[in-house]
């Protein structure tokens, strides 16, 4: 597998799915369905790596998305 390096400041237009109020505060079902990286759509592998390598960033971004 190719190593994927993600610079968080280059991520934009993050879209979330399965965000449910009954799942507060953990939102375990929520996931990033799409995002852009340097102006191009991120691949599924990149989105998976983002989730795995940067869970705190993902949670903070989710909170910004919700509120």
Instruction: Classify 15 as helix, strand or coil.
Output: strand
Q: Please give the model's pTM, rounded to 2 decimal places.
A: 0.87
Beta bridge partners of 31: 17
C-alpha 12, offset from chain centre: 10
**CA within 13 Å, CB half, 54:** 19
Q: Taking the CB of residue 10, how many other CB atoms lie within 10 A of it?
A: 10
pLDDT tens for residues 3-39? 668 999 999 999 999 999 999 999 999 999 999 999 9
What confidence category does residue 47 fall into, taking pLDDT thresholds of 50, 70 and 90?
Answer: very high
Query: CA-based angle 61:34:50, to the nearest 5?
Result: 55
């Amino acid at each position: 597998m190719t190593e994927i390096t993600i610079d968080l400041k280059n991520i934009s237009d993050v879209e979330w799915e399965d965000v449910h109020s009954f799942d507060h505060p953990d939102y375990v079902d929520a996931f990033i369905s799409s995002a852009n990286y340097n102006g191009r759509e991120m691949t599924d592998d990149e989105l998976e790596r983002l989730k795995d390598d940067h869970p705190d960033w993902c949670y903070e971004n989710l909170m910004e998305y919700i509120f």
